[in-house]
């Protein structure tokens, strides 16, 4: 065994085996104390000592600064992420508010269009008094065969008053309560309306049909064969009707064919009113009987 190996064996067995962490700490303290005393008594050598100390401490300080910067950036990132999430939630709330406002504006636009249409309908029939009403109930499934409005006898509504909207004839009041009324539309099964062509003044019968319920079509019957319904197919209520006021638009004749015998023709009528989309209507408070009395008085 060499001398160097013997020395290492001696240090390992007699020194390192008895060297504890407490002894190491005491040793570090003694070294630091000795360094400070040396610096105090040997001021001239302080620069070299500080260089040595700096060389030892600086890496630890740089590591501490690096860790500190990392922790600071992590905290800043966490704060930024939290702020971003809150901003996203705020933008989502604003987006929901804007969507509600947009839906409200769309609804107002639809309502304004309906009101303008009702105003135009009033202007079309200046001789008739009218009462605006809102539909509050519907007995039909796909269309408004029979429905309830929010006006009744307290508003002057009576049975047999005609009901229209901006597009044309809707139906007739068949029952009244104090603050509501029931309207039977012209598409109801068994509802017959005496009609005539808008220009030719030829009479025919338009009827509701259960088979065509929800299709926007009525039956057309008893039209004279010499009436050119292809070119003169706009149908309105006739002057001879005992319940409906004259000249109210019903719809347009389609698919007309000649009947057996060659004297009359039949077909269908596409209603002017879309009976799947009713919201507001006009009740004409002028009665057919009143109009007849005025005509007879003249």
DSSP-assigned letters across all residues of the chain: --HHHHHHHHHHHHTGGG--HHHHHHHHHHHHHHHHHHHHH-GGGHHHHHHHHHHHHHHHHHHHHHHHHHHHHHHHHHHHHHHHHHHHHHHHHHHHHHHHHHHHHHHHHHHHHHHHHHHHHHHH-TTS-EEEEEEEEE--SSS-SEEEES--GGGT--TT-EEE-SSSEEEEEEEE-SS-EEEEETTSTT-EEEEEETTT--EEEEE--GGGTTTTEEEEEEEETTS-TTTS-EEEE-TT-SSSPTT-EEEEEEEEEEPTTSSEEEEEEEESS-TTS--EEEEE-S-HHHHHHHHHH-
**Residue-by-residue pLDDT tens, the chain, 298 positions:** 566 566 566 555 555 555 555 565 666 567 667 666 665 565 555 445 455 555 555 555 565 567 666 666 766 666 777 777 777 788 788 888 778 777 766 665 655 566 666 677 677 788 888 999 999 988 766 678 889 999 999 999 999 999 999 889 999 999 999 999 999 999 988 889 998 887 766 678 888 876 666 667 898 888 888 877 877 788 999 888 888 999 899 999 888 888 888 788 888 999 999 888 888 899 999 887 776 655 555 5
pTM of the model: 0.61
């Amino acid at each position: 065994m060499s001398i160097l190996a013997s020395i290492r064996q001696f240090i390992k067995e007699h020194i390192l085996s008895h060297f504890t962490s407490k002894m190491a700490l005491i040793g570090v303290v003694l070294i630091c104390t000795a360094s400070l005393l040396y610096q105090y008594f040997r001021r001239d050598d302080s620069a070299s000592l500080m260089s040595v100390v700096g060389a030892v401490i600086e890496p630890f300080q740089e590591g501490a600064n690096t860790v500190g910067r990392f922790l600071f950036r992590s905290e800043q990132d966490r704060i930024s992420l939290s702020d971003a999430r809150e901003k996203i939630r705020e933008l989502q709330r604003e987006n929901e508010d804007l969507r509600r406002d947009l839906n409200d504006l769309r609804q107002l636009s639809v309502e304004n269009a309906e009101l303008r249409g009702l105003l135009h309908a009033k202007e079309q029939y200046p001789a008739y008094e009218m009462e605006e009403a809102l539909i509050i109930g519907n007995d039909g499934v796909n269309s408004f065969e029979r429905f309830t409005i929010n006006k009744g006898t307290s508003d002057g509504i009576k049975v047999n008053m005609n009901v229209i909207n901006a597009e044309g004839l809707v139906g007739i009041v068949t029952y009244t309560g104090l603050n509501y009324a029931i309207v039977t539309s012209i598409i109801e099964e068994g509802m017959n309306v005496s009609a005539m062509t808008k220009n030719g003044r030829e009479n025919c019968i338009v009827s509701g049909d259960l088979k065509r319920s929800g299709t926007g079509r009525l039956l057309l019957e008893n039209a004279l064969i010499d009436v050119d319904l292809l070119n003169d197919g706009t149908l309105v209520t006739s002057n001879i009707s005992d319940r409906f006021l004259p000249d109210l638009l019903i719809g347009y004749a389609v698919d007309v064919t000649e009947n057996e015998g060659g004297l009359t023709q039949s077909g269908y009528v596409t209603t002017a009113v879309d009976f799947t989309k009713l919201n507001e209507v006009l009740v004409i408070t002028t009665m057919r009987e009143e109009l007849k009395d005025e005509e007879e008085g003249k």
